[in-house]
Amino acid sequence: MNTPGPTPSQTVGPFHGHALPFPGGGDIAPPGHPDTITVHGRVLDGAGDPVPDALVEVWGPGPDGALPHTGGSMRRDPVTGGFLGRNGIDFTGFGRVPTDADGHWAVHTLRPGARGENAPYLSVCLFARGLTRHLFTRVYLPEPAGALAADPLLASLTPPRAATLVAHAEPRGTYRFDIRVQGEGETVFLEFA
């Protein structure tokens, strides 16, 4: 009798773009806030091609370094279950955006403050096709440079690897941060036990 072997593991999806994004998911800072910055980039695969169906989640502290404890990222109408949106006043520190056809993503948030010995950073979680588990990384802003030099995580990496975690400043409070899933210039990803 011939017994079939085990079924190989498979990734599930990608279904990220169908149920998880929500309207205004990239608008983390209240609209019109004078300290709003934009962080954007592309998600690229090992060949340098865009990943058009990834999902990027971003969390960050407020400018004072305190973690927000405000809910409301996905408020729903208690009667219809429809999406009500953010209340437009409170900073929640959380955003979730899908990538577009070119692998581009963007969030509008407040400049994060430093926490402990760490330089200011935003936490990022990436969900994408081909990944059986989501990936965690950080986005450090390039200033203040002294804080970057003293950051324990950045100091533990070689300069080329640390550079994959630092966004590039662009005009008008905008920062570019590309996420390379593998290959040359692969972004440093973190593992949590």
This prediction's pTM: 0.85
pLDDT of 21 higher than 70:
yes
For residue 6 the two structure tokens come to: 């085990």
Q: Are 143 and 92 in contact (CB under 8 A)?
A: no
Residues 148-181 have pLDDT tens digits of 999 999 999 999 999 999 999 999 899 999 999 9
DSSP state letter for 13? -
For residue 68 the two structure tokens come to: 């927000």
Q: Are 99 and 48 in contact (CB under 8 A)?
A: no
Sequence-distant (6+) residues with CB within 8 A of 175 are 37, 38, 39, 40, 139, 141, 142, 167, 168, 169
Please tell me the distance from the alpha carbon of residue 40 to that of residue 49, in angstroms, as a whole number.
Answer: 17
